[in-house]
Amino acid sequence: MSDRMTTPISAQVRSANPESANITPVIPGVLLPLRKQQRVPLSQKPSDHIFLVMTGVLMVEARLPERNRQVLEILFPGDAYHTQDAPGRLGAALIASTPAELQRYRPEALEAIERNNPEFRKRLESATSHRSARRTLHLASMSGASGEERLADFLVEMGLYIGREAQGGRSFDIPLSREEIADYLALNPDTLSRIFSRFKSSGLIAISRGRATVPDWSALTRLSPLAAAQTDLHDQVRATA
């Protein structure tokens, strides 16, 4: 996998158009376009940047020495990630699961936002607190649920955030590989594959060319202990935005 490159943060920079600040509430920052699998190291230096996900799906990865990678969370458009959420030593990085665009704000930029753009600050705060709630749900899933339930929770999450209604059910592209999903769900890839197979043969889900289709959404939510909480949370943001 020599293709998964590390690109200096400073590469491919351009300023967002200040004109548009009042329309989409995004103020000038540094725009990072990312290819699939491109990685943005979250270095442990004390500078606390914020990354705002404009488009695409990202993973937050941790790598401890001598240990398997973990996928700590998944980011969707609208999410804000604070560098300081990942303690140094975890070897954390953002990885684009799909082509993506990130807006990056340095501490100075953030201070300026505090002072001059309360509206945008509100948006950052609400993105942050939404993500925080989602992290709580993921922790709850990892520590309270079985393998099947964890996968169901995951599928509900993906369905809500990147799925579209399709003939009564929902369907979405799965942007993570099996191994990445396994790392996100704290399962091993073999086990995950088995659970996927069970779901497929029970008709709960169909997968073709990386696209998942859930014909009966409520059947899925019945397997997911956190479906209700995830749905509430998701709808809540859409209402705000």
Partner DNA sequence: CGTGTTGTTGAACTGTCTCAAGGACGGTGG
Partner DNA sequence: CCACCGTCCTTGAGACAGTTCAACAACACG
Instruction: Indicate which of a copy of itself, DNA, none lies near residue 137 (CB less than 5 to 8 Å, by partner kind).
Output: a copy of itself
**Interior CA angle at 164 toward 158 and 168, to 5°?**
110
* Residue ranges in 125-184 that form contacts with DNA under rule CB under 7 A: 146-148, 177-179
Q: CB-wise, 73 or 149, nearer to DNA?
A: 149
Per CB under 7 A, the list member of 7, 98, 193, 213 interacting with DNA is: 193
Instruction: Indicate which of DNA, a copy of itself, none lies near residue 142 (CB less than 5 to 8 Å, by partner kind).
Output: a copy of itself
Question: Can residue 189 be called a binding residue for DNA (CB under 7 A)?
Answer: yes
| x-or-dash string of contact with a copy of itself, 143-182, rule CB under 8 A | xx--------------------------------------
DSSP letter at 58 equals E
DSSP codes, 146-197: -HHHHHHHHHHHHHHHH-EEETTEEEEE--S-HHHHHHHHT--HHHHHHHHH
Instruction: Indicate which of DNA, a copy of itself, none lies near residue 133 (CB less than 5 to 8 Å, by partner kind).
Output: a copy of itself
Per CB under 8 A, the list member of 166, 186, 219, 237 interacting with a copy of itself is: 186
**Counts for the chain of helices (H) and strands (E), in that order:** 7, 13
User: What burial letters (b/e) apply to 59-86, b meaning 16+ CB within 10 Å?
Assistant: bbbbeeeeeebbbbbbbbebbbbbbebb
User: Least distance (Å) from DNA to the CB of residue 31?
Assistant: 26
Any long-range contacts for 2-11 (C-beta under 8 Å, 24+ apart)?
Answer: 3/37, 4/37, 4/38, 4/39, 5/38, 5/39, 6/39, 6/41, 7/34, 7/38, 7/39, 7/40, 9/40, 9/104
User: Least distance (Å) from a copy of itself to the CB of residue 102?
Assistant: 19
Residues near DNA, by CB under 7 A: 1, 146-148, 177-179, 186-194, 196-197, 207, 209-210
Residues near a copy of itself, by CB under 8 A: 48, 62, 64, 67-68, 70, 72, 82, 84-90, 129, 132-133, 135-140, 142-144, 186, 225-226, 228-229, 232-233
